[in-house]
Amino acid sequence: MMILPPLLFAAIAGLFLGGMFLGQGRNLPSALIGREAPAVAAEGLPGLDQLTDADLRAGEVTLLNYWASWCPPCRAEHPALKALAAEGEERGFRLVGINFRDTVDQALAYLIDEGNPFLKSGFDPRGRTSIDWGVSAPPETFIIGGDGTVLFRFAGPLIGSDYDQRFRPELEKALAQARE
């Protein structure tokens, strides 16, 4: 009889914790879906074309990727970003990036070493614009319609089955809507 209250407490606590964490994963909701994209970083990386707010409303589907040189998942997704950039040239979408909580030297060195997949870049060293976008940790990628409307948010690296099963269908949907 004395063991019953602690077991009951542990069971209830387990249910609460499980409910908080199970099923959340990378399916974090975004309040931005269906709304106009927030402002992008006002700074750019020296020597690279700077991303502006107008670039997100230029009539083409745009993929906006928040990344950092210190981020291992960002490094893991980099080959996929380069492939997306090449695909975008053929299919009519653009890939842009915002470097997040990094230094100019490290960000530029990374892009020089690994290749720059971004058509245009922003620089958010203090993470201020990332707050407006709801970015919790890099990498995060947003699909933005040609009118500047946020269509989809993908938290995590663009790799593996999650990328194939969740991101790619949303990209195809956005491209189909753009053709209509």
pLDDT tens, N- to C-terminus, the chain (180 residues)? 677 666 555 556 555 544 444 444 445 567 889 999 999 989 999 999 999 999 999 999 999 999 999 999 999 999 999 999 999 999 999 999 999 999 999 999 999 999 999 999 999 999 999 999 999 899 999 999 999 999 999 999 999 999 999 999 999 999 999 988
The CATH number of whichever domain residue 69 belongs to comes to 3.40.30.10
Q: With respect to residue 99, please indicate whether it lies within any of the assigned structural domains.
A: yes
CA distances from 146 to 122, 153, 171 (A): 19, 16, 13
The pTM for the full model equals: 0.84
List the domain range (segments joined by +) for residue 153: 30-179
**Cβ(70)–Cβ(102) below 8 Å:** yes
The whole-angstrom separation of Cα 166 and Cα 117 is 21
Q: With respect to residue 20, please indicate whether it lies within any of the assigned structural domains.
A: no
CA distances from 38 to 35, 57, 77, 94, 160 (A): 9, 11, 24, 18, 29
- pLDDT, position 109: 98
Number of structural domains, the chain?
1
Q: With respect to residue 139, please indicate whether it lies within any of the assigned structural domains.
A: yes
| Residues comprising the chain, all counted | 180
